[in-house]
Structure 1
Amino acid sequence: MNRGTALAGAAALVTGLALTGCSPAGGPELEVTGAFMPQPVSDMAAGFLVVKNIGGSTDRLTSVTSSLSDSVTIHETRNQAMRMVTSFEIPAGGELDLERGGNHIMFMDLKERPKQGETVALKLHFEKADPITVDVPVKETTYNPKKQ
């Protein structure tokens, strides 16, 4: 097997795995799945994903950064009203579900509008665990995995 084939195989293996963030033993162990961004139709966009905590202690999502926007915030939705929050809890043995119609990531003043089929890189920052970088696929504007 030549080096190029080995590297391609390794890259394929890595892209098929969930993205994880490590922390000290007994601490939170986080993995990110189901990430997507509907194709934006204005200078704003939303991002959705699930952060699972298979570790032994609670953590918090404290911020999100991306080169797509200098203004990326996290929002909760309650009683059909959206408001910015400073963090979301990720309980030990539980998960944080950022989904359409609920809690989510907001990208304001986009530097460009990504198109369906592209990916957007973002970095999730936590209170305890190391940051996790996620390549988020851009889906059609109406995409909703809960209704598939």
Structure 2
Amino acid sequence: MSVTDFDKIKDLIYKYFQIAKSKEIENLSDFFGNRFTKFGDSPPYELRDSDRALMLEQLQFASISDYDFKIVDLKIEILLDEVAIATFILESTGIIVDDYSFRGAAISNKIRATIVLQKDKNDKSDGWKMLHQHFSRTSG
């Protein structure tokens, strides 16, 4: 694995979670490949296709305030120079705001994360796109 690919993937993952802080949710689709799917850690728990995952992710990132995150034990393995698997623990805190009731609920999550990525051959900088995410909360 080249250091460049490792750094590109690490940067992509950190930038993705930074969107919950910056609220630049219109940029979320830039992170996903054409056939993106997701198993999330919150309802609905079904396999989400690209459009549904994007819509729910935008809603979730827009609804959280005072968001902070930490990525622990990030491991990235590149297979065949164009597919990568990233695994890590995502620790996040914030306040989920209900715009209808004007109330918020504090959250503190520890989530096991797996992200499958593919090198985007149409990207001039040999960038990477997320193909699949699987998040599951830990019990502790």
Report the TM-score, using the length of structure 2 for normalisation. Answer: 0.29
- Greater Rg by CA: 1
TM-score by length of 1: 0.28
Task: Write 1 or 2 for the structure with the bigger share of helix.
Answer: 2
Flag the structure with more relative contact order, 1 or 2, with Cα contacts below 8 A and sequence separation at least 6: 1
